[in-house]
Amino acid sequence: MPNKLEVGVPRIGRLVDFNESTPQLTVVLTRVEDDITLTIPWDERDSPYARWFVGSDLLSAGEASTGAPTQLLFSDVHGHVLLIGCYARGYHANAFGPGQGTVHARYAILQADGKASYESIHGLQSSVTGLRRWLGVTSWHGTITRPDTRIILESVNQDPIDFGNFGDTHLMAVPSAGWSQNFAKEAEQEITDVLRLKTITAEPQAWEAHLDVHRAMRDLLVISSWQQQAVHPVLAMRTDEGQLVRDGKEPDYLWRNLVSARQEPSVELTATTPHLIRYSDLGIDGIARFIQLRTDYQRALKPILSSNALRDVTPETLLAHTIPGLEALAYLLDLKGGMEEPKAAYRPLRQRFDRILADVQSCLPFSGETWKNNTVDAYNGVKHANKPTLDEVDILNAWRESVLVVRAWVAVELGIEKLAVRSRLEEDPQRHGWVKIG
């Protein structure tokens, strides 16, 4: 069995907490949906492991609660698993001693032996849904021969796409082709067309610093398609782990497979998904413009983008989640235009919407004035108990059009011609509103 961490398959092995004074311990490592856990047993109340979980008031005299180390090493017959971002939560103990607790981990680094700390990293690679198709990159070339209709596939060596530096972080997209045999089903073989988003830093950076750049690319795809997208971290690297030399290839650092406890939901994409913003519009320089735009306007874009991932919520929740982002956008635009902060901070909502419409009104596939009035009425009805409420379908359409306004604004800010924005929005699935039946 290879060194894998599969959902629902527990592994029994030894724990290393990098403290020579603690005894060896047999533990259970388990991966479940959205969690990676270690089950930690102890025999006596004054065990050093009990102190990770139990408060000082329940320990023996002189013993103090310590909390779990943030980095732990698990080892069994299949190899090492280095656990990062560990914390102790949840335990059951007998009043006189024996007990067990649960340690949760944010990341599991496979095969890492703990000699290099992965609390911060030099490199991260992830899979971003929809990115390969949006970039128009493939590592396979196919031909069809007739009359027997035989399909021939040839792998193509594609150069990485270098997006340059963003602060201390170097960003690139790395395509590759893969092939594997399914030994459980001998008749099945699988080819893969892979694109990894890679960040590299000269000095080790926090996981969130790397992930934020990966999420920026995800956010660009969300704005462009208004489909839910996901970032799945798959490889991590520390330069002090050394380099790996492969035949005929340049040396590369040793990248470790990783498992993230909390995975963003997988997304089922369609081949016909239209994009408002295309890579041909932006190129490498345009990617840099978007990342800077996302940084400058994060107070505006974050709540609007996050509404894309909300499921099973009411129309009122969607609108209440989104309008503060529009207010922030208008506020930042007013400040950028030279308005004094006190005036910009207290502008009425209608005037805020007028400021946004000044940039995008000609791009919209609907009346900007009607959107403004309907959305103000809908939001006031949601926010204020003394205001009349609109029908849920009207609230839902106010949210839908508000999102579309912001998407249009981002496209224009990135330099896409307004006529092109208008034409694409005319064909965008979000263009069509909900209709009440009955």
- How far apart CA 332 and CA 321 sit, in angstroms, is 18
Residue spans of alpha helices (H) in 233-348: 279-296, 298-306, 315-336, 341-345
The answer to whether residue 320 sits within a structural domain is yes
**Number of compact structural domains in the chain:** 3
- How far apart CA 261 and CA 309 sit, in angstroms, is 19
- How far apart CA 400 and CA 68 sit, in angstroms, is 45
Query: Does residue 422 sit in helix, strand or coil?
Result: helix
Q: In terms of domains, do 139 and 182 share one?
A: yes
What is the DSSP-derived secondary structure letter of residue 116?
Answer: S
The beta strands (E) that lie in 186-254 are given as 189-206, 231-237, 243-244, 252-253
The answer to whether residue 96 sits within a structural domain is yes
Q: In terms of domains, do 83 and 126 share one?
A: no
In the chain, count of helices (H) and strands (E)?
A: 10, 18
The answer to whether residue 289 sits within a structural domain is no
Point out the domain boundary residue: 88, 110, 132.
Answer: 110
Q: In terms of domains, do 93 and 216 share one?
A: no
- How far apart CA 405 and CA 327 sit, in angstroms, is 13
Q: In terms of domains, do 352 and 229 share one?
A: no
Q: In terms of domains, do 129 and 193 share one?
A: yes
Q: In terms of domains, do 74 and 56 share one?
A: yes
What is the DSSP-derived secondary structure letter of residue 78?
Answer: T
Q: In terms of domains, do 130 and 252 share one?
A: yes
Q: In terms of domains, do 217 and 154 share one?
A: yes
Q: Is 129 within 8 Å of 196 (Cβ atoms)?
A: no
Query: Does residue 55 sit in helix, strand or coil?
Result: coil
The answer to whether residue 272 sits within a structural domain is no
Q: In terms of domains, do 211 and 302 share one?
A: no
* Predicted confidence pLDDT, tens digits, the chain (438 residues): 589 999 999 999 999 999 988 988 999 999 998 999 999 999 887 788 988 987 655 555 555 567 899 999 999 999 999 999 999 998 888 876 789 999 999 999 999 999 999 999 999 999 999 999 999 887 666 665 666 666 666 667 778 999 999 999 999 999 887 766 665 666 667 777 789 999 999 999 999 999 999 999 999 999 999 999 999 999 999 999 888 766 666 778 899 999 999 988 877 666 677 899 999 999 999 999 999 999 999 999 999 999 998 988 999 999 999 999 999 999 999 999 999 999 999 999 999 999 999 999 999 999 999 999 999 999 999 998 888 888 999 999 999 999 999 999 999 999 999 999 999 999 999 999 999 886
The answer to whether residue 173 sits within a structural domain is yes
Q: In terms of domains, do 333 and 232 share one?
A: no
Point out the domain boundary residue: 85, 110, 135.
Answer: 110
The answer to whether residue 157 sits within a structural domain is yes
The whole-model pTM stands at: 0.90
Q: In terms of domains, do 22 and 95 share one?
A: yes
Structure tokens at 402: 């508000």
Point out the domain boundary residue: 260, 288, 312.
Answer: 260
Q: In terms of domains, do 129 and 29 share one?
A: no
* Burial (CB count <10 Å: 0-12, 13-18, 19+), residue 300: buried
Domain that holds residue 167: 120-260
The answer to whether residue 286 sits within a structural domain is no
Nearby residues of 272 by Cβ (< 8 Å), 6 or more positions away: none
Question: Among candidates 275, 301, 288, which has minimal Cα distance to 166?
Answer: 288
CA dist list (Å): 106 to 70, 201, 203, 218, 263: 10, 21, 22, 21, 10
The answer to whether residue 25 sits within a structural domain is yes
